[in-house]
Structure 1
Amino acid sequence: MLKIQEIRELIKLVDQSNIDEFVYEHDGSKIKMKKKTAETVVAQPAKTVIEEVQAPKVVQPAAVKQVAAVEQEVNVAVKETENLHKVVSPMVGTFYQSSSPDAEAYVKVGSKVTKDSIVCIVEAMKLFNEIEAEINGEIVEVLVSDGQLVEYGQPLFLVKPE
C-alpha cells in the first residue's frame, strides 16, 4: 500500500500533468483520481437594453395593515423567546428523551422542572450523559427529536423560568 506522502506526490503529478484521470491498482487496493474538467465558456457581446420606467405601484391600505399585524406578531414572539432559558447540549452526541426506548420521556412540553431535574440524555462515545435543566421553570418547547445528533452549544429545550 502507498504511504500518504506518496499519494500526495501522485496528486501533485496528476494535477500538473495533462492527464484527466489516473487509476492505480496493487494487491487489491485501488486509487482513482479525476481532475475537474473545466467547461468552455463562450463570451458573447452584451446587448444594450433600455427598460421602460413605470410609475410606482400604490400600496393598498389593507395590505399595509396586514404587514403591520404580521410585524406585531413577530415582535411578540421574539419578546416571548427572549425571556426563555435555553437548555443547551454540553457536548456533541446523540439526543435521547428517555433512559431507554420503551421508557417515557424525562420531560415534555408543559413539564415543570427544577434546576436538578434530568431533562434528557446525550450519548457521546458510548457514554450516556444526563443533562439537567439548570433552572426552575416549565418546558415550553422541545427543539430536537429523539435520536437526533446534536452539536456542542445547540439548544435542546426552551424553559420558561419561574
Structure 2
Amino acid sequence: MKIQEIREIIKLVDQSSLDEFLYESEGTKIKLKKNAKGTVSSTSETFDSSSIVEQPKQVEVKAPIVQEIPKEPVVVETAEDVVDSSLHTIISPMVGTFYQSSSPDAAAYVEVGTKVSSDSIVCIVEAMKLFNEIEAEIDGEVVEILVKDGQLVEYGQPLFLVKGN
C-alpha cells in the first residue's frame, strides 16, 4: 500500500464520525483510532507469510483534524422566487445543460421580445446526451431569459419569463 493511500484513508477517517477503522489486505493491516483530543492514531503491520520470524513493522501517525472550508452554497432560483405574478415562468423539467439554439452556429429559438405560442420551442435542455426541446406552454411574449447559453440548470429552475396574451 502506498503512503498516499494511507494518507487518504487517514483523512477520510478523520473527517468521518468513526472512532476506529481497521483495514486488512494482502498481509497489510492498518488500524486507525481517534483519541479524545481529536487526532488519528495509525498502526500499520505488514506480515510476510514466507518468514514467520520477521517482526511486524509499526508506524505511528498523528494527524490533526483538518476542517475543510465550506464552499459557497449554490443558490437555485425556483418558480416560487419569481415575484411578478402577471408573468408566466417557463421552468426546466429536468437537470441538464441549457441551450438557446439547436447548434452553436444557429440562431437562438427565442430572444427577449419574441412572440411565442404554447407549442413554440424556446430552448433545448441536454440531459445524458439527449436533447430535449422545451415548449413555451403559453401564448405570449418573452420578457426575460433567466439563464445563459451552456449553463447547467436544475429541475424546476426558471428559464424564461413570458407575459401572457
Q: Structure 2 length normalisation: TM-score?
A: 0.57
What is aligned with 2:65?
A: 36
Q: 2:102 aligns with which of 92, 99, 111?
A: 99
What is aligned with 1:133?
A: 136
Helix, strand or coil for the counterpart of 2:143? strand
Q: Deviations over 1:1-57 (max 9, x none)?
A: 8xxxxx79x933335247547698xxxxxxxx955259xxxxxxxxxxxxxxxxxxx
Pair 99,36 (structure 1): closer, same or farther in 2 beyond 3 Å: same
Match for 1:137: what amino acid? G
Considering fraction of residues, name the structure with more strand: 2
Considering fraction of residues, name the structure with more helix: 1
Take 1:95 and 1:21, find their aligned partners in 2: how far apart are those partners? 48
| Two-structure CA RMSD over aligned residues (Å) | 3.2
Take 2:43 and 2:104, find their aligned partners in 1: how far apart are those partners? 47
Q: 2:150 aligns with which of 134, 144, 147?
A: 147
Pair 128,36 (structure 1): closer, same or farther in 2 beyond 3 Å: same
What is aligned with 1:84?
A: 87
Take 1:132 and 1:23, find their aligned partners in 2: how far apart are those partners? 61
Take 2:144 and 2:99, find their aligned partners in 1: how far apart are those partners? 15
Residue identity (%): 64
Take 2:85 and 2:120, find their aligned partners in 1: how far apart are those partners? 22
Answer yes or no: is 1:16 the counterpart of 2:34. yes
Take 2:163 and 2:124, find their aligned partners in 1: how far apart are those partners? 21
Q: Gapped runs of 5+ residues in structure 2?
A: 2-8, 14-19, 22-31, 45-61, 68-82
Pair 37,107 (structure 1): closer, same or farther in 2 beyond 3 Å: closer
Pair 95,37 (structure 1): closer, same or farther in 2 beyond 3 Å: closer
Across the two proteins, how many residue pairs are aligned to each other? 108
Match for 2:145: what amino acid? V
Q: Deviations over 1:103-146 (max 9, x none)?
A: 00000000000000000000000000000000000000000000
